[in-house]
Structure 1
Amino acid sequence: MVKFQKLDAWKLLADVPDEYAFRCHDGGVFKNMRELRDGLEAISDETFGFHANAEKNDFSNWVKDIINDEKLARDLTKSHSRLQAAKSVAARVSSLSTKLKPMTA
């Protein structure tokens, strides 16, 4: 089993270049997972439904294709509400953030 490295966690949590930022239907712009988490908590259900519905899931696609986090992308695909999606992102951010903390003996 390959051990998840601190650098991997850092890359997944880092800002993406401006040209790859997620541009939300309501004008919001998210450049990293933390901004996505906060954005999902703040956007309307209508805006969430524009991006995530039976035909598509823009959030999942962005996370998979731009951030390169297959696990979170799968979790977002399973999320049927913006709050469920926000919780999935929050859990992933928390998990990755713990990997960045220095190990103490």
Structure 2
Amino acid sequence: MSEVMYLSDVPEENKFYVQNGNILRNLEDLAHELSSMHDDTFRHHVNDERNDFYAWVNHCIQDKYLANKIGARYYKGDMYKTVVRRVNGLKGLYHKPKLKQIHKKLTNIVSSGGSSLTSRKKATIKRKVTKVAPTIKRKTASVTKKSTKRKVAKKRPIKRKLVKKAVKTKPLKKNAVKREPVKRKTAKMKTARKK
């Protein structure tokens, strides 16, 4: 199934009936409903025992990527963000030819120099070109991780500096008198006193 088909309405028998009486026909309806759904209604459909939205997306819409993403979400806000990202990604795929046409027109204007345009308008057009270009390069709406090999860092010898430890001396207090070191009494001195 083409990814663009995920945005279309499901057949009549596959509609999702929410506890509050609303009916979901497609992913955009799901995103809209999640944004305004009461927490109790959400907990009715998503709890420890079941995840009705996961089941509906997986079996009726057949979007396995989104189903796996929302299957791990148990908070309404997280699920809403995930569904909105997916819908926006699918819309980006759907309108891809239109984006290519816009990009082509904008690059023609910039490359021709646009002599009749002011410098402010040229800067605005260049910004638009840079915004449109990344969306054209995207191949799928799903996020794919590239497998890249990590470069091993070259081992360099560590240069260690020899640091001489400075002897720390405590500064003398003001008006302090220097004292001479006290001589320790030896055993001979002790015996001499006793006599």
Q: TM-score, normalised by structure 1?
A: 0.88
Query: Aligned AA for 2:15?
Result: A
Whole-angstrom CA distance in 1 between matches of 2:6 and 2:13:
17
1:29 alignment partner in structure 2: 23
Query: Aligned AA for 2:89?
Result: S
Q: How does 1:2-41 map to 2 (within 5 A)?
A: 8-41=2-35
Where does structure 1 differ by over 6 angstroms across 4 or more consecutive aligned residues? Answer: none
Query: Aligned AA for 2:33?
Result: G
- Higher RCO, 1 or 2 (CA under 8 Å, sep at least 6)? 1
Whole-angstrom CA distance in 2 between matches of 1:37 and 1:84:
11
1:46 alignment partner in structure 2: 40
More helix by share: 1
User: Aligned pair count?
Assistant: 99
Whole-angstrom CA distance in 2 between matches of 1:59 and 1:44:
15
1:84 is aligned to 2:89:
no
Query: Aligned AA for 1:30?
Result: L
User: In the TM superposition, what is the alpha-carbon distance from 1:54 to its structure 2 partner?
Assistant: 0.7
User: In the TM superposition, what is the alpha-carbon distance from 1:59 to its structure 2 partner?
Assistant: 0.1
Whole-angstrom CA distance in 2 between matches of 1:86 and 1:56:
17
User: In the TM superposition, what is the alpha-carbon distance from 1:9 to its structure 2 partner?
Assistant: 2.4
Whole-angstrom CA distance in 1 between matches of 2:11 and 2:27:
13
RMSD over aligned CA atoms reads 1.3
Whole-angstrom CA distance in 2 between matches of 1:29 and 1:84:
21
Note the residue ranges of structure 2 that are not aligned, 5 or more in a row: 105-195
Secondary structure class of the residue paired with 2:82: helix
* Structure of greater Rg: 2
Aligned-pair identity in percent equals: 31
Whole-angstrom CA distance in 2 between matches of 1:65 and 1:80:
19
Whole-angstrom CA distance in 2 between matches of 1:79 and 1:56:
12
Residues 16 and 67 in structure 1, CA contact (< 8 A), matched pair in contact too? yes
User: In the TM superposition, what is the alpha-carbon distance from 1:49 to its structure 2 partner?
Assistant: 0.5
User: In the TM superposition, what is the alpha-carbon distance from 1:62 to its structure 2 partner?
Assistant: 0.2
